[in-house]
Structure 1
């Protein structure tokens, strides 16, 4: 399986750099027959290690709610991800009413862009069962655990529940 990590790492790097705001796919091979999973962060450039605990917990809660059982080091499913936050300068233009008419006011803002690349692999076959590449503008740069939980649950909503559930 270690020979697959480098290509997956490259795929996650490319996904993090992508400009598509959301790209999610579930393989027809994803059938819920596996029962256990483990989580592995891929520390690609820009990956935020400080977000790993919250992200791991959110993935764990979402998959456990679907009937899968978490295992720390190995499982039938491997969840790999890279997550990052980037500060970007943006421009906002607003109409402003003045005594002489309407003018356009231009304001430069600092914005946070969240990026996530996530895959769920069948550990036995190496097949990619689920993948998501997401880039979103953050309106509130403070990320609470509840916000991460809700986001990951929505992201994984189409991943099948464990067949035994």
Structure 2
């Protein structure tokens, strides 16, 4: 396993960020909002306190964002089974199941597995010819490997689990 961490700098690339596909809108309930390309209004939350305020408000529902023609930046609807797509009371019930694993202490327990998976994939990437696909060789593997550790799925079964994680049917 390699012990050096490669340095990657992208700040010199001009126009790296795409222009926003939204327009600012009048704030509501003390929270900033935007108008989406579809014409829908949406909260535009970039501060932890604002995200927490909205996620803890039972009146804030997610289901309209996951309907055909609903307010969304995504070109498609995402699986309704995903935790983030659930509304009260299902969201809270499912959140309790995973809260301990995603707490700061729970995430800290995964630190070594994340580092090991990252180093293994970066080492595999370094062995490839120039122009190798970073996503396919590194980025696509790490989340599934970490999910297997988190969910207690044997790493030997990662190949079976990985496609499920892409469709939203796994890890829910």
The structure with the largest strand share of the pair is: 1
Q: Relative contact order (alpha carbons < 8 A, sep ≥ 6): 1 or 2 greater?
A: 1
TM-score (norm 2): 0.27
